[in-house]
Amino acid sequence: MLETARRYRKRKESPVEETRRLLDAIKRDTLNSFITIDEQGALLSARSAEDLLDREDAGVLAGIPVAVKDNICTCGVRTTCASEILADFVPAYDATVVKKLKDQGAVILGKTNLDEFAMGSTTTTSCFGPTRNPWDPSRTPGGSSGGSAAAVAAMLCAGALGSDTGGSIRMPASFCGITGLKPTYGSVSRYGLVAFASSLDQIGPMAATARDAAVLFDAIKGHDPLDSTSALHDYAPTDLEGIDLRGVRIGVPEDFFGPGLNPEVESAVLSGIAELADMGAQVVDIRLPHVRYGVAVYYIVATAEASSNLARYDGVRYGMRAGESGGLRNMYLQTRSKGFGAEVKRRIMLGTYALSAGYYDAYYRKASQVRTLIADDFRAAFSLCDIIAGPTTPVTAFRLDEMVDDPLSIYLLDIYTIPANLAGLPALSIPCGFDSRGLPVGMQLMAPHFREDLLLGAGIAFQDRTGHHKVRP
């Protein structure tokens, strides 16, 4: 991204030339990373960016080609959530993050593939077919922001937006060998993001490097009066030079290193932590005793909120309508039966059960209480350290046909990413090595609320020292 901006300013390349090159590459793409290509809109934006670059006040994003996950609204360009029920839905407005990118001259190439309604970890539940991993097309790119991750890794765009409810930015970033940031809850507007679980969802940047991710984050962060969950916070620009890690305390939770963690992943992550120590960081052992309940808590809270949020898709107002004869009840039944895929139906039913009379106290209320305990664990840990480091995922990218009929195993893949969502914390995944098959391994860094500057600064410093992020599929 920054390199593309430099080429523009040296007149070695123009936004129109770069946009045309990438559009051609996307059309030839066999990874199925995009659902919709906005060729006309992209070229129009690129031409406008060329005029913008002639001005001294042109920002770094002028003419930069980016992609947007297809659960983020784009005016005049369909937003499908990879679901039959919204396959032809065209929003009449831009999400705030999209508007911010456009206002800064970015070129939006199109909308990227995802698990249906962002519910998944594989990008295989899309009604438009699965996305494949650029490192090995027989393997998953992770999910749910797998299309965005694959597009960045395959260099089909300079950066992309994803959304993260339980790890949906960080897992695909790890599997595809790129950088992905889940910001603090409330730091980036959710206005125009199609809701999955409203207390957990967060839009964030995905890019080849931490520097590029920082540029994207700076472009989209900030308070939005259109979003009632948007935080009032004084945001400073991220220092793109990185930070001095001398004296920074890196907390390593023993709770993230145990049964279920692939030995090769563990080795790569521990090597990454050792590298941080060589750069002057102080490594301290910490405990997060309640994170072992994170997956259970998440799949109660998230499914309950999904059940409520997805009740709006009934065939009445917008989206797919089926069974128009036979009365209103039949229309509801047919629309929701035909419009939703199996995984979405499963989560709606789980959430409805958790919220039902007689079970609310036993499930949802209890889960909310344990969620508070997990947040308390992090507050205690950050009194002992500045950054928490560990694996992003317990494994590297697996084959597309693996675990298809085993949803519980797939749910457990989020074991290290879910806690940050439950606590509303910022978390960053950066490449830290490769397994014996040459597949990328991600290291996750977490920081206190609104300390994205610390995470990104550490990520930049780490990448200035190492070359894992430079290796491309």
CA distance linking residue 222 with residue 41, whole number of Å: 26
Cross-strand pairs, 36: 111
**184 class by beta-carbon count within 10 Å (0-12 exposed, 13-18 middle, 19+ buried):** buried
Active-site hit among 45, 144, 148, 189 = 144
d(CA 417, CA 206): 16
Give the active site residue among 33, 126, 168, 189. Answer: 168
Q: Has 198 been annotated as catalytic?
A: no
Closest CA to 92 of 192, 228, 160: 192
Rounded-to-integer distance, Cα 253 and Cα 283, Å: 11
Active-site residue, from 45, 69, 102, 307: 69
The CA-atom distances, in angstroms, between 397 and each of 59, 303, 381 are 36, 25, 30
- Joined tokens for residue 425: 């914390």
CA angle 118, 379, 235 (to 5 degrees): 65
The yes-or-no answer on residue 168 being catalytic is yes
Count of C-beta atoms within a 10 Å radius of residue 16 = 17
Q: In what order do the strands lie in the sheet with 249-253?
A: 34-37, 107-112, 65-69, 159-164, 202-207, 179-182, 427-434, 440-446, 387-391, 249-253, 282-286
Q: Is 139 strand, coil or helix?
A: strand
Residues forming the active site: 69, 144, 168
